[in-house]
Structure 1
Amino acid sequence: MSNTTENTMKKFTITIKEVMEREIEVEAEDLDTAINNVRTRYEDEDIVLDSDDFTGVDIFDSNAE
């Protein structure tokens, strides 16, 4: 690589964001309880998302506002 090419190269920080989602059906007295139940199960790793739950990817400039 020549010095000219090295001097013209810029550095960029690029973010890759993968999205995974899964619908979980639960019985609860109210919505808040249902959400908390699923959150607890997720945090306890009773619910683990995997490649079957992949729904998309976004690649973008990390410094974009």
Structure 2
Amino acid sequence: MDYILDILVTVYECNYDSEKDLLEESKALLAKLSKQIPELSPEQFREKYPSISQMIAYLDEWLTN
């Protein structure tokens, strides 16, 4: 799981200046994965990965302003 999240962060950082909304892409990917990996459901994700959940919330707040 940590490996997958590391990949997401790396891809996000490398493509930050692209035209795609990578935050939404990352959220959509997590939503798809949550169907196969129960610990990625929004409730369990916040509980098991609080720092990553906070990072997503922080990015969502600052990138939409």
TM-score bin (small chain): under 0.3
Higher alpha-carbon Rg? 1
**As a proportion of its length, which structure holds more helix?**
2
- TM-score w.r.t. the length of structure 2 is 0.26
Select the structure with the greater relative contact order (CA < 8 A; seq sep ≥ 6).
Answer: 1
**As a proportion of its length, which structure holds more strand?**
1
